């Protein structure tokens, strides 16, 4: 199955409503991952067709329907998050996950975060956090600011485990 995609030849995803945690992690890892908590299957399929996304879902009916239409879909069987990611890696031919603030997308809205200078955001960030962090990123859509503590470190371990395989 050919899974190479336009943006830097990386796959882009549409994550089904039941798997919001996966969408958030994929975004932080830098993968364009659409996710809507409330969407009808037919609408989801329409959007996937348009953008050539890969569906990630736990819903067997949706997967079956999608595959029948010639769409790419990954059925996530496992309940454990780390195993779910292993299934996704295997089926989408992703080699290694990495956590890199400059590549990450906003976990809330999937928009690419941008590096931002400390002095431009100091009013929005508690001083303790400013003291202990040098790198910050901003989402221009939801205005959220991220730093290594939130953006990266939490996921470092998870990704380390995934890449162990």
Q: How far is the CB of 104 from Zn ion (least distance, A)?
A: 11
46 binds Zn ion (CB under 5 A): no
Q: How far is the CB of 16 from Zn ion (least distance, A)?
A: 21
- Phi, psi torsion values for 66, nearest 5 degrees: -65, -45
Out of 109, 125, 130, 145, which residue is the one contacting Zn ion (CB under 5 A)?
109
Question: Residue 88: which residues within 8 A CB-CB, separation 6 or more?
Answer: 22, 56, 74, 76, 94
145 binds Zn ion (CB under 5 A): no
Q: Which stretch binds Zn ion (CB under 5 A): 3-11, 76-84, 103-111, 155-163?
A: 103-111
CA distance 77 to 92: 15
Measuring CA to CA, how many Å separate 33 from each of 58, 123, 134, 148?
16, 31, 28, 21
139 binds Zn ion (CB under 5 A): yes
67 binds Zn ion (CB under 5 A): no
142 binds Zn ion (CB under 5 A): yes
Out of 108, 115, 120, 163, which residue is the one contacting Zn ion (CB under 5 A)?
108
How many other C-beta atoms can be found within 10 angstroms of the C-beta atom of residue 42?
A: 9
Out of 15, 28, 106, 152, which residue is the one contacting Zn ion (CB under 5 A)?
106
141 binds Zn ion (CB under 5 A): yes
Closest to Zn ion by CB, 45 or 106: 106
Pick from 58, 26, 23: nearest CA to 41: 58
Tokens for 7? 């943006």
- List residues binding Zn ion (CB under 5 A): 106, 108-109, 139, 141-142
């Amino acid at each position: 199955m050919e899974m190479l995609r336009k943006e830097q030849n990386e796959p882009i995803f549409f994550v089904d409503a039941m798997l919001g945690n996966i969408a958030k992690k994929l975004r932080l890892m830098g993968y364009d991952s659409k996710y809507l908590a409330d969407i009808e299957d037919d609408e989801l399929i329409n959007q996937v067709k348009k953008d050539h996304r890969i569906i990630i879902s736990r819903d067997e009916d949706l997967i079956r329907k999608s595959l029948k239409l010639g769409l790419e879909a990954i059925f996530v069987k496992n309940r454990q998050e780390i195993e779910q990611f292993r299934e996704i890696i295997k089926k989408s031919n992703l080699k290694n996950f990495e956590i890199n603030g400059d590549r990450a997308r906003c976990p809330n809205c999937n928009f690419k975060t941008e590096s931002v200078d400390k002095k431009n955001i100091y009013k929005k960030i508690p001083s303790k956090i400013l003291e202990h962090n040098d790198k910050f990123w901003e989402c221009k859509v939801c205005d959220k600011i991220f730093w290594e503590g939130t953006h990266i470190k939490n996921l470092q371990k998870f990704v380390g485990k995934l890449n162990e395989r």
